[in-house]
Amino acid sequence: MALIQKIRSKGVLILVLMVLAIAGFLAMDIMKSGNRSGSNRVTSNVMGQVDGKTFTYEDFQQIEDVMYTNAKGDVRTQNHIFDEFVDGALVNQEADKLGMGVCKDELLGLEFGPNFSPEVSQNPVMSNTQTGQIDPDKVKQVREAFLQKNQQLETPEFKGYWSEFERRVIKTRLQEKLVALVSKGVYSPTWMVDAAYADLTQPVDILFVKAPFDAVKDDEVKLTDADYQAYLDQHKGKYNQDEETRKMDFVTFTVTPTSEDSNKIDNQIKTLIPDFQKSVKDSAFATLNGGLAPDQWLNSLTQGISEPMKKALFSAPVAVGAVIGPYIDQKSYWLAKIIDKRNGPDSVKARHILLQPKAQTDKIVDLEKMADSFRLALETGKANWDSLNLKYSSDKVAQAAKGELGMVANGAMVPKFNDLIFYKAAPGKYYTVTTQFGVHIVQVTGQSAKREDRLKVAFIRKPIVPGAETLKRVEDQANAFLAANRTLEALDKNAQTAGGQLQTTQPLRAYDYSLGTAGGGAPARDAIKWAYKEGSVGEVAPSVYAFSDQGDSYISRYVVAALKSIQPKGTPTVANIKDDLTPFVKNMKRGEILKNKITGNDLNAIAATYQTKIDTAMQLTFNAIYIPKVGQEPEVIAAAFSTPVNSVTKPIIGQSGVYVVKVISKNPIVNSPVDKNALRQQASAPLKNLIRGKLLADLKKNASITDNRSSFF
């Protein structure tokens, strides 16, 4: 018996170790093969390098098998692993230069507390997989297993897993140290603080009139290559690329279910109605037939309920056991069976005392026993609600109101709490309930007179999908178009007449997995790999790509794609991004035309000419970039501050039009109290915030990185 009890007490740990053992077993062969190859690994197996540090395909597979067992083969996961390698190599390299490290005691504190690493909350061995929070019980059990030198932890499988976990903990900690080190070096000198103070305390009031760009007709705008080049020269930073990209044109042939397809699905779901009506286990029946039975009480105001579903369920009274439908919603046919029905108030007044764990060793079961004892004491008059609330409640907002939650609408609280106060609790009595927030002692103190029906429903869903004949017809259409149009020029010319939709992708990197609006996944990867490995500019890919919408098992579109352009690393040529530049260059040209047309400084005359009005902007500060109700116009604000009071600016080409501004006042704030230290911190804060997000990005720019991942997936 003692042995059985001991096994039970370690049940969670044993289960975790079994899962790890299985995951490790899957990785064992790869790990062994990597060891066997040793120094004989060929260069073709190199997935990437960072300043000479090599990352092989075996390394990648080992991490994928050990850490991402459930997401193997997912392109997002694969790219994430590669990025982790690059980031880790850069962080370790910088840390080595600075003599920075993580000692054994520090590592133990990061793994088992008190200074938990963010990585612990992502480790299923020591966290709650549903909430993503660290589970103190799991942490304690794993630590005890290490202290007792549990044999399960000595296996190569677990050691491989734990070694990778510790590597991540160390990398994260070193990165935090680097960010802290660089942040400490950020300092705002006194002159900068004084300038920031002046920017904040010397506002300006203006009148302005805007001549919109569309006041210039298209036929007045003549664009030349010189115009494009001039714009690109002024905005190089916006378009400069750190790596090569390619663009593709593609034609989409959408697969739309026919009326025959729809009728077929309608007949299929109707055949389920008799068995659904007779079913005793409604949830199981719905699930087996492609449906669901959410454990939720629904009414016409429930969030997430669509109008067709609302109309089907609540337009007329329904009885328990009734099957409603089929009705169409979200491109599917639906059946709904009423499992249960309740009638209750539409709102109640309630109060609660919330008990939450105070320490890692506190357990919910102990809090539940405490709550039951408090409830009994309240019922027998041996305890006072206000005293218990003041001493024990963890809900500080409600605590200040003596635990009162006010009048609560049905559905506003978490399900267990909501179910209790609306359908189970009698007013005046005390109850306990456990939710994800902790253990609650609850009392309903009032109910609204208005009552409403709530339904618990099981649903069966049958998507309206194209049939085999429909798919074949559209696929044949796409293949015929491909056969007749083997160049980009022909593709662009004939797309519309063939019934397809021509689109251009965003700039694509070699390892991207999304082909613009066509979609992502395996077909997108195949198209992008073709563009990088085999395609020439102007050439059409030799096969049609079949795409499915996420979550759907059927093909929804066929795509014919061609390589449109190759953009090398660095500043692009006008020819490669002309389409992207056109709207901006056109506005620049319109602005120049308007600027030359506007004469004089009479705002009323300018407003009348362009059928607009004179607006005001008050208390603008120099560090602002937005004008209220107008948008981002930094050039206008800068001009206002450089113009004397009662003077009118020359026309200013802005983001959405040409502006003329009259400065009506400049009002420095006199004797404004200022804390120079606080202002210094405020001036430094934006740069310090940038460091966390941009430190690694800047390290990457200065590193020599070889990226071969597109050769492997």
Q: CA-to-CA distance for 636 and 615, rounded, in angstroms?
A: 13
284 pLDDT above the threshold of 70: yes
Structural tokens at position 281: 């286990």
Looking at residue 518, its amino acid is A
Structural tokens at position 377: 């004491």
Helices (H), 520-659: 522-533, 574-597, 603-609, 634-641
Q: CA-to-CA distance for 52 and 81, rounded, in angstroms?
A: 18
| Confidence band, pLDDT 50/70/90 cuts, at residue 24 | very low
Cα–Cα nearest to 357, from 345, 348, 368, 349: 368
Contact criterion met (CB below 8 Å) for 351 and 402: yes
450 pLDDT above the threshold of 90: no
pTM for this prediction: 0.65
At residue 441, the pLDDT reads 96
Mean local confidence (pLDDT), 540-559: 89
At residue 318, the pLDDT reads 87
DSSP secondary structure string for all residues of 590-616: HHHHHHHH--SS-HHHHHHHTT--EEE
- Buried b / exposed e over 335-361, threshold 16 CB at 10 Å, is bbbbeebeebbbbbbbbbbbbeeeeee
At residue 393, the pLDDT reads 94
Q: Scanning the structure block, which residue is given the tokens 């010189």?
A: 226
Q: CA-to-CA distance for 430 and 423, rounded, in angstroms?
A: 14
Structural tokens at position 400: 């200040």
Lowest mean pLDDT among 285-294, 505-514, 684-693: 684-693
Structural tokens at position 348: 């109640």
Mean local confidence (pLDDT), 151-165: 79
Contact criterion met (CB below 8 Å) for 371 and 420: no
Q: What percent of the chain has a predicted confidence (pLDDT) above 90? A: 51
Helices (H), 38-103: 57-67, 75-98
| Confidence band, pLDDT 50/70/90 cuts, at residue 310 | confident
Stretch (H or E) spanning 562: strand 557-567
At residue 15, the pLDDT reads 39
Helices (H), 185-249: 190-201, 225-234, 236-239
17 pLDDT above the threshold of 60: no
The 10s digit of each residue's pLDDT in 222-233 is: 999 999 999 999
| Confidence band, pLDDT 50/70/90 cuts, at residue 33 | very low
Structural tokens at position 53: 């540090």
Q: What is the mean pLDDT of the chain?
A: 86
20 pLDDT above the threshold of 50: no
Mean local confidence (pLDDT), 665-675: 70
At residue 23, the pLDDT reads 41
Q: CA-to-CA distance for 248 and 492, rounded, in angstroms?
A: 11
Q: CA-to-CA distance for 143 and 108, rounded, in angstroms?
A: 9
Question: Is the peptide bond prior to 326 cis by the omega test (within 30 degrees of 0)?
Answer: yes
Higher pLDDT, 69 or 8: 69
Mean local confidence (pLDDT), 608-632: 90
CA 411 to chain centre: 26
At residue 5, the pLDDT reads 39
Q: CA-to-CA distance for 306 and 151, rounded, in angstroms?
A: 55
Question: Is the peptide bond prior to 523 cis by the omega test (within 30 degrees of 0)?
Answer: no
At residue 674, the pLDDT reads 64
Mean local confidence (pLDDT), 252-270: 95
Most confidently modeled of 47-51, 56-60, 206-210, 507-511?
Answer: 206-210
Q: CA-to-CA distance for 458 and 336, rounded, in angstroms?
A: 6
Structural tokens at position 455: 């339904």
192 pLDDT above the threshold of 60: yes
At residue 637, the pLDDT reads 92
At residue 371, the pLDDT reads 95
| Confidence band, pLDDT 50/70/90 cuts, at residue 43 | very low
Q: CA-to-CA distance for 430 and 451, rounded, in angstroms?
A: 22
27 pLDDT above the threshold of 70: no
360 pLDDT above the threshold of 70: no
Mean local confidence (pLDDT), 40-58: 78
The 10s digit of each residue's pLDDT in 467-480 is: 999 999 999 999 99
- CB within 8 A of 475, min separation 6: which ones? 544, 546, 555, 558
179 pLDDT above the threshold of 70: yes
Question: What is the side-by-side strand order in the sheet with 614-620?
Answer: 614-620, 204-212, 657-666, 652-653
581 pLDDT above the threshold of 70: yes
Cα–Cα nearest to 464, from 201, 698, 236, 256: 256
Is residue 54 classed as helix, strand or coil in its secondary structure?
A: strand
Is residue 252 exposed (0-12), middle (13-18) or buried (19+ Cβ within 10 Å)?
buried
| Confidence band, pLDDT 50/70/90 cuts, at residue 42 | very low
The 10s digit of each residue's pLDDT in 382-427 is: 999 999 999 999 999 999 999 999 999 887 888 889 889 988 899 9
The 10s digit of each residue's pLDDT in 635-655 is: 999 999 999 999 999 999 999
At residue 264, the pLDDT reads 96
617 pLDDT above the threshold of 80: yes
